[in-house]
Amino acid sequence: MKIDRLIAMIMILLENEVINAGALAKKLEVSNRTIYRDIDTLTMAGLPIFTTQGVAGGVGLMKSYKIDKRLFTLKDVQTLSTSLESYRQLYNHKEIVHVLEKLNGIRREGGQSEKESRYAVDLSLNQGNRSLRSLLSSIETAINKERYMVFDYIDKDGNITSRKIEPYQVVFKESSWYLQAFCTLKEDYRIFKLARISKLDVLPETFVPRDFSPLAMDGSDWMSREWVPVTIRIALSIKDKVIERYGEENIIRVEGNSCLATFPIINNESGYDVLLRFGDKCEIIEPSEIREAFQNYIRRILAKYEEQ
């Protein structure tokens, strides 16, 4: 939005005695021509803008011009800046650049460098997930405008169904993106993995929002299958994987270069696939029926290569 860009420009001018138009254009991700139009707009609005010529010339604000920035503490600003930067990485919204410039201006005035932030969240999409950006953008539009969405969905068994949904919330969990929505086909709330969605379309038809409460994604409420506590022996090098997923309390004991741990899984191929990610650094100890079922699953995989 133009107003956001103008405010961001003011913040930049406040932090620099003089800055050239090219640098302003680069910071705000617009053309030089747009910058000159914005300068004219601010001048007509009564802001005391001056220009200087020469190699070191540029645009500046009279030193007497001040803006009260005490609305947020530096901690507030740092938290907002970190969150917005993560959001910008996902959606690539240029207007967020303007907001970030305002926040960074407040941080600089408070004596805090942009590089002094103690925490950073990197949600930039890898090459495989960059295609999700347009999907995320469409979902954002549908949520904000309360419009129905339709798409084809491939479930874990490879079955394809057409869905019409009311979108409510996007969730990032364990390296994957999910959409929480009300499905008109199932007449209930459902969780959809974005990577399983295709042929998505945002309909012009709007819906009346329901009294939505975020669905639990800890494996207890949104999955109906029963979880089985499995005892595994793992190499110490992947001990952190158990801790990240279930907590330190699931480590039973350390035995030299390995340790015993409790690792609940669903007793099916999806559950076995989770343990397969650990490769030869993991062994199922008990229960015996899970160990045997896992062995049979590995044999079926191996058989595909032995057939040749």
Domain 2-61: top CATH class = mainly alpha
Respond yes or no on whether the N-terminal peptide bond of residue 287 is cis (omega within 30° of 0): yes
Specify the pLDDT at position 167.
Answer: 95
Between residues 88 and 17, which one has the greater pLDDT? 17
| Structure token digits, residue 233 | 């022996």
| Lookup: tokens for 282 | 């993991």
- Per-position b or e across 233-243, b if 16+ CB within 10 A of its CB: ebeeebbebbe
Closest C-alpha among 202, 199, 205, 211 to residue 168? 211
Span(s) in the chain for CATH 1.10.10.10 = 2-61
Report whether pLDDT(125) > 60: no
Strand-strand pairing, 282-286 and 231-235:
antiparallel
The residues of the chain that CATH labels 2.30.30 are: 132-206
CB half-sphere exposure, 156, CA atoms < 13 A: 8
How many angstroms separate the CA atoms of 36 and 109, rounded? 26
Q: Among all chains, which residue has been given the structure tokens 């469409």?
A: 138
Highest averaged pLDDT of the listed ranges 19-28, 130-139, 215-224: 19-28
pLDDT, greater one: 2 or 62 = 62
pLDDT of residue 121: 54
Q: How many helices and strands in the chain, by DSSP H and E?
A: 9, 13
The structure tokens listed for 64 are 């007497």
Structure-derived torsion over alpha carbons of residues 212, 218, 224, 225, reported in degrees to the nearest 10? 170
Contact 97, 28 (CB under 8 A): yes
Give the DSSP letter string of 148-187: EEEEEEE-TTS-EEEEEEEEEEEEEETTEEEEEEEETTTT
Q: 218-273 pLDDT, tens per residue? A: 654 444 457 899 999 999 999 998 888 888 889 999 988 999 999 999 888 888 99
For domain 132-206, the CATH architecture is: Roll (2.30)
Question: Residues 145-198: pLDDT tens digits?
Answer: 999 999 999 987 788 999 999 999 988 776 678 999 999 999 999 999 888 898
Q: Report the distance separating Cα 139 and Cα 116, nearest Å.
A: 34
| pLDDT attached to residue 63 | 66
Model pLDDT, residue 113: 53
